[in-house]
Amino acid sequence: MLRYILRRLLQALPVFLGTTFLIYALVFAMPGDPVLALFGERTPNPAQLESLRAHYNLDKPFIVQYLLYLQGIVTGNMGETFSGRSVSDVLHAAMPVTVKLVIMAVLMEFVLSVVIGMISGLLARKAAIVDYINLIIALVLNSVPVFVAMFFAQYWIGIRRGWAPVTVGGNATWGAMFLPALVIALTIYVTGMRLMRGTVVESQHEDYVRTAYAKGLRPSRVIPVHILRNSLIPVVTNSAASFGYLIASTTVTEAIWDIPGVGNTLYQAILRGEGPTVVSFVTVLTVAYVVLNILVDLLYAVLDPRIHYV
């Protein structure tokens, strides 16, 4: 097991180096002055320019620049925002909020996937129409762009009905973030739902299910104990994978609901035209995504006894 984990981590190393290098190259290997480009239409003051050039070591050869930048990522020294706070401080304050939101969304996604996938799978033969309608609903919800879905919820439930706060703001409690998390879950549950449905349909023809019925067990026991438990593994790993994906892509959700998480700080940096800060945040989010994906791979090996870790 330990050997497997080590080997997996070693395999991930090139990907980690590659992704950070890619982002760095996107910014600093472009033709022209990268620091000026980061400011876009704004005209930076000379002091800012100087400090940025110093921070990114632009006087050194490119590969040395990259290695120093990598050192910054690993040691947590990601430079400062234009207002002078260090990027790692900002992240430290914002990350727990994002994690909270994403945990809630992933749990909801998991429940939706399991419940709806189960219903669809069990009814796939007896009432194919229910199965079909379930799939269509999930597909429609999945194709609604996230920000459209967010506005819809914000307008109908927040403004018109007043059942939920319209924006979250500084008060990022579980309750205030319930609605945004639910909307996220509704737009992504289709994948998990299909996995669940597929394994439930398959497991109904498995020998152990037929045996269970043959020895006289009622569906009320066969379904939860024999079918559900054996169908959960792919759904669990899918939800774990969506955790990583969501951490990296809550920007729109947090911007719309004004949730003070990492995505929102990225959005604010975009709005203020703070190119260097945007790059730092994107780097952190990408690294988080890569690391979480590795963990999901490991989780898969732990959960599924059929996978041997050699």
Partner 1 sequence: MSRPEPEHYVAPIEEDELNTMDASELPDRRSNLWFDAWRDLRRRPLFYAAMAITLGVVVMAVFPTLFTSVPPNDNCQLMLGTRGPDLGARAPGHPMGFTLQGCDVYARVVWGARTSLTVGLLVVAISAIIGIPMGALAGFYGGWVDSVLSRIGDIFFSVPYFLAAVVVMTVMSSHKNVWVISLAIGGFAWASLARLLRAEVLQVKNKEFVAASEALGRSKFSTLMRHVLPNSLTPVIVSLTVSLGGAIVAEATLSFLGVGLGSSVMSWGNDISEAQQTIRTAPMALFWPSLFLTVTVLAFIILGELVRDALDPKARARR
Looking at residue 206, the DSSP 8-state letter turns out to be S
CB of 1 to partner 1, least distance (A): 24
Binding residue for partner 1, selected from 151, 178, 213, 300, defined by CB under 8 A: 151
Q: Tell me if 62 contacts partner 1 by CB under 8 A.
A: no
Q: How far is CA 148 from the centre of its chain?
A: 19
Gyration radius of the chain's alpha carbons = 24
Is-contact 65 28, C-beta < 8 A? yes
Q: Does 171 bind partner 1 (CB under 8 A)?
A: no
Q: Is 279 in the site for partner 1 (CB under 8 A)?
A: yes
23 interacts with partner 1 by CB under 8 A: yes
Residue 15 binds partner 1, judged by CB under 8 A: yes
Q: Decide if residue 30 touches partner 1 (CB under 8 A).
A: yes
Q: What separation in angstroms does the CA of 138 have from each of 154, 188, 255?
A: 20, 8, 25
CA 99 – CA 120 distance, rounded (Å): 31
Q: Does 169 bind partner 1 (CB under 8 A)?
A: no
Stretch of 44-52, 172-180, 224-232, 266-274 contacting partner 1, by CB under 8 A:
266-274
Contact residue for partner 1 among 13, 54, 148, 225 (CB under 8 A) = 148
- Torsion of the alpha carbons at 19, 23, 28 and 33, rounded to the nearest 10: 170
Tokens of 190: 């289709």
Characterize 235-255 residue by residue with b for buried, 16 or more Cβ atoms within 10 angstroms of its Cβ, and e for exposed.
bbbbbbbbbbbbbbbbbbbbb
Q: Which residues make up the interface to partner 1 (CB under 8 A)?
A: 14-15, 18-19, 22-23, 26-27, 30, 34, 37-38, 40-41, 139-140, 142-148, 151-152, 154-155, 159, 245, 248-249, 251-252, 255-256, 266-267, 270-271, 273, 275, 278-279, 282, 285-286, 289-290, 293
